[in-house]
Structure 1
Amino acid sequence: MSARTKARTRALEVLFEAEQRSASAFDMIKARREQTDQTINPYTMDLVEGVVSMQETIDEFLSTYSQGWPLERMPSVDRIILRIGAWELLYNDDVPDKVAISEAVELAKTLSTDESPSFVNGLLSRLHQLKPSLLA
């Protein structure tokens, strides 16, 4: 497993925990640093900061293009995977678009339901198609 793949998994854990506890993702990171000897990969921080800073816009895109699936009906894990994937796809030029989608699909295969990988792939692929107009 690559360092970036591990960073994505850690970011998902942090964002998931923050959402479940209705807490700040940054408070979750701080708690992890204080309570464990776990080091936080810089890319994990980039992902968490990016998703948090762009979450309102990302959620609007996800809500608009997820046919028949409002954000609140999506499983929490899927919602967070989609946020991470959308941030990498739309706002992180260091990650090729197809890699962002592929990594999100792999997270869904590992951590979510049987239907989730195709849902994540379909929605992120749609955002990829619309990327020029979404960022205009």
Structure 2
Amino acid sequence: MSDDQTESQDPQRRPPRGPRAGLTSTGARKASAKSARSRAREFALQALYQHLVGGNDPDTIDRFTRDLSGFHKADSVHYDALLHGAIAQGPQLDALIEPLLDRKLSELSPIERAVMWIGAWEFQHAPDVPWRVVLNECIELAKEFGGTDGYKYVNGVLNGLAPRLRPDETGADRARTGA
């Protein structure tokens, strides 16, 4: 028997898995597979990062971000709402997030903090977006832009926040799934 025949007959040996369609090698969605709202969240995250790290003015950040490559594919209305809403309500969003942290707010990475702002803001102000979609989108942002395990932390905090901000929706969801 040749090596080729042995490999094809051995059920323990499988060919290596190829990448899933629409995903990068890290598991993040490819740009071509992203919705306009997902893109809006990405641009909002980048803009919020500029605000948190550089203290830049929201209007200056907005003008800069709109000139970035690919912005035309984003939902600009959702981007505007996220950017200006999160900055305007930053202290309130921090107050919602802080009790769920196991460290000081100042010790969070700016990416994690900005992602949590996006999630908390959407929980409060985007009722058309299901809470699980908000949570998943924020996890994806943290995976793509944050530190190695930052997405796990974001998941834990926002999963704890969702029942407080969307009690009817999360309660119905959890009752239906038995979670």
Contact 1:82-1:124 at 8 Å conserved across structures: yes
Kindly provide the CA deviation profile for residues 39-68 of structure 1, in whole angstroms up to 9, marking residues without a partner as x.
4722111111221222111101111111x2
The CA distance in 2 between the partners of 1:88 and 1:32, in whole Å, is: 20
Report the identity percentage: 25
Runs of at least 5 residues in structure 2 that lack an aligned partner in the other structure = 1-33, 168-179
Give the 3 Å change call, closer, same or farther, for CA 97–22 of structure 1 in structure 2: same
In structure 1, give the amino acid aligned to 2:94: D
When the two chains are superposed, the root-mean-square deviation of aligned CA atoms in Å is 2.0
Q: Show the counterpart of 1:120.
A: 154
2:27 is the counterpart of 1:7 = no
Which has more radius of gyration? 2
Deviates more, 1:14-23 or 1:116-125: 14-23
Within the candidate set 100, 121, 127, 2:134 is matched to 100
Of residues 55, 72, 77, the one that matches 1:42 is 77
**1:69 and 2:97 are equivalent in the alignment:** no
**CA deviation after TM superposition for structure 1 residue 91, in Å:** 2.2
Look up the SS of the partner of 1:114 in the other structure.
coil
Q: Give the gaps of 5 or more residues in structure 1.
A: none
**Structure 2 counterpart of 1:13, one-letter code:** Q
Is the CA contact 1:89–1:101 (under 8 Å) kept in the aligned structure 2? no
Q: Which amino acid aligns with 2:43?
A: R
C-alpha displacement of 1:95: 1.0
Instruction: Please state whether the residue corresponding to 1:120 is helix, strand or coil.
Output: helix
What is the TM-score normalised by the length of structure 1?
Answer: 0.86
2:9 maps to what in 1?
none
Distance 1:32 1:123, change over 3 A: closer
Partner of 1:111: 145
Name the CA shift for 1:117/1:42 in 2 (closer, same or farther; >3 Å): same
Structure with the higher fraction of residues in helix conformation:
1
Residues matched between the structures, number: 131
Amino acid at match of 1:105: I
- Kindly provide the amino acid, as one letter, of the partner of residue 47 in structure 2: V
Asked whether the 8 Å contact 2:49–2:114 carries over to 1, the reply is: yes
State the alpha-carbon separation in 2 of the partners of residues 52 and 125 from structure 1: 22
- Compare relative contact order (CA 8 Å, sep 6+) and give the higher one, 1 or 2: 1
